[in-house]
Amino acid sequence: MTIAPRKPPAQFALRLKRALGGKAGWNGLAAQLAFAAVLAWIAYEIVANARANLETQHIASGFGFLKYNAGFDVSQSLISYTNSDTYWRVFFVGLLNTLVVSVIGIFFATIIGFVVALCRLSPNWLLSRIGGIYVEAIRNLPLLFQILFWYLAVLAALPAPRQSISIFSTFFLNNRGLIVPRPISEPGLDPFLAMLAIGILAALGVRRYARQALFQRGQLIRIWPYVLGLVVGLPLIAMLIFGRPMTFEVPQLKGFNFAGGARIIPEFVALTVALSTYTAAFIAEIVRAGILSVHKGQMEAGSSLGLSRGTTLRLIVVPQAMRVIVPPLTNQYLNLTKNSSLAVGIGYPDLVSVFAGTAVSQTGQAIEIIAMTMGVYLLLSLTTSAIMSIYGWRINRSLGT
């Protein structure tokens, strides 16, 4: 089976030009313009009509509400937020909460998905069955059930704050979440971070040099001792000279809960686990399809060169499979992002819950808020698509197709 190569984005301009004029030449262009004008007119009518109707029904409209105080609290916020902040800030709090769940979810879903796919393809009977059972069990159960399951299962398994599971008296686990020491920056932080950055850059340089040596002279250089020295050693030296980069505020049990420290709330954990395990089942099938689409002669060629199965997969099969994997993988990333709106069921404060939920009912401005929320999801989806398109295009280019 051959797969048509994805066209690089640069050709879009060309295609647009062709589409505008088309075979009908200028007549085609005129028809296109007329059609666009009709669409614009319809859009204008809809907006104007909505405004007029809102006015006659005395429903508040406009975006003025964004600068008013929201007056309610949110359980998790990546930026500082209090109940005297504005709805505009609530919007960003919700957006960031959605983003963090999506990004972390996508990260774990991809890893779990690849691992499960490799399990399913493994010649080991047990591993392949486990992979198969995982995929069939997870993808055939409704996602909302899984989210509720993880949430209630996680909650049920954890003790109340006063009976917290304590790990070295610094980490605490209870049904309010995982409480960890909060880092507080000290004067030594800046040199520490600077040395860390230098170390990472230098390590990348070493890797580049080693690869060149390998490809050009066939010389194999063992780089890990150098990398370790640069990434760990340099910051250590900075620490010895400038003192500790940070201290940790250890959480203390006080009243109903722990004071101090940072906390990962169980809603976040349940949602991330549910989203990533669920999406991973689909990703596993996509990856399996991608790997199977690579001719088995490639695998045999790898073996005959004396490469191990893992190395053959990593260096030969997976890079070729990626161009089949990437487009449907994008779909799964988009699904995960959109599915994160199920958060409201377990009280995770994502965009839909705090903005399209609480803010709507407090202001009553459903049209504006729903439009903004839809706009955000559209933007997130288009951005993800664009990144994946570029990635897919680079893969195709590197494969020379």
Partner 1 sequence: MQRPRTTLKGLPMKRVSLALTLVAATALSVQGVSAQTLKTVQDRGMLSCGVSQGLPGFSSPDDKGNWTGLDVDVCRALAAAVLNDPSKIKFVPLSAKDRFTALQSGEIDVLSRNTTWTVSRDTSLGANFTGVTYYDGQGFMVKKSLKVNSALELNSASVCVQTGTTTEQNLADFFKGNNMKYEVIAFGTIDEAVKAYESGRCDVFTDDASGLYASRLKLANPADHVVLPEIISKEPLGPMVRHGDDQWFDIVKWTLFAMVNAEELGVTQKNVDEMLKSDKPEMKRVLGTDGNLGEQLGLTKDWVVRIVKAVGNYGEAFERNVGTGSPLGIARGINNLWNKGGIQYAPPIR
Instruction: Give the interface segment with partner 1, choosing from 54-62, 114-122, 124-132, 381-389 (CB under 8 A).
Output: 54-62
Question: What span, in angstroms and rounded, lies between the C-alpha atoms of 154 and 269?
Answer: 9
Asked whether the beta carbons of 322 and 395 are under 8 A apart, the reply is yes
The answer to whether the Cα torsion of 114, 349, 80, 370 is positive or negative is: positive
Residue choice 122, 327, 345, 385 for contact with partner 1 (CB under 8 A): 345
CB of 101 to partner 1, least distance (A): 15
Alpha helices in 79-164 (DSSP H): 87-121, 125-139, 143-157
Burial zone of 54 (CB within 10 Å; 0-12 exposed, 13-18 middle, 19+ buried) = middle
The dihedrals phi and psi of 180, each to the nearest 5 degrees, come to -120, 155
Nearest to 174 by CA among 187, 188, 161, 191: 161
With contacts defined by CB under 8 A, name the span among 27-35, 199-207, 305-313, 354-362 that binds partner 1: 354-362
Residue 9 near partner 1 by CB under 8 A: no
| 245 three-state secondary structure | coil
Identified binder of partner 1 from the candidate list 221, 367, 385, 389, rule CB under 8 A: 367
Across 319-393, where does the E strand assignment appear? none
Q: Considering the rule CB under 8 A, would residue 365 count as an interface residue with partner 1?
A: yes
Asked whether position 73 contacts partner 1 by CB under 8 A, the answer is: yes
The amino acid occupying position 283 is I
State the nearest-atom distance from the C-beta of 234 to partner 1, in Å: 40
Select from 352, 376, 380, 395 the one that contacts partner 1 (CB under 8 A): 352
* Min dist. Cβ of residue 285 to partner 1 (A): 9
Coil, strand, or helix at residue 392?
helix
By the rule CB under 8 A, 145 interacts with partner 1: yes
Distance of CA 243 to the CA centre of its chain: 36
Question: Could you say whether residue 185 binds partner 1 (CB under 8 A)?
Answer: no
356 binds partner 1 (CB under 8 A): yes
Contact between 183 and partner 1 per CB under 8 A: no
Q: Which of residues 157 and 240 has its CB atom nearest to partner 1 in the complex?
A: 157
| Residue whose structure tokens are 């040099």 | 209
Among 2, 10, 58, 215, binds partner 1 (CB under 8 A): 58
> CB of residue 64 vs partner 1: minimum separation in angstroms?
11
- Integer Cα distance of 391 and 368 in angstroms: 34
Question: Which tokens hold the place of 273?
Answer: 């686990």
Q: What is the CA radius of gyration of the chain?
A: 27
Residues within the interface to partner 1 (CB under 8 A): 46-47, 49-50, 53-54, 56-60, 71-75, 83, 142-145, 148, 152, 155-156, 160, 175-176, 254-257, 259, 265-267, 282, 331, 335, 339, 341-342, 344-347, 349, 352-354, 356-358, 360-367, 370
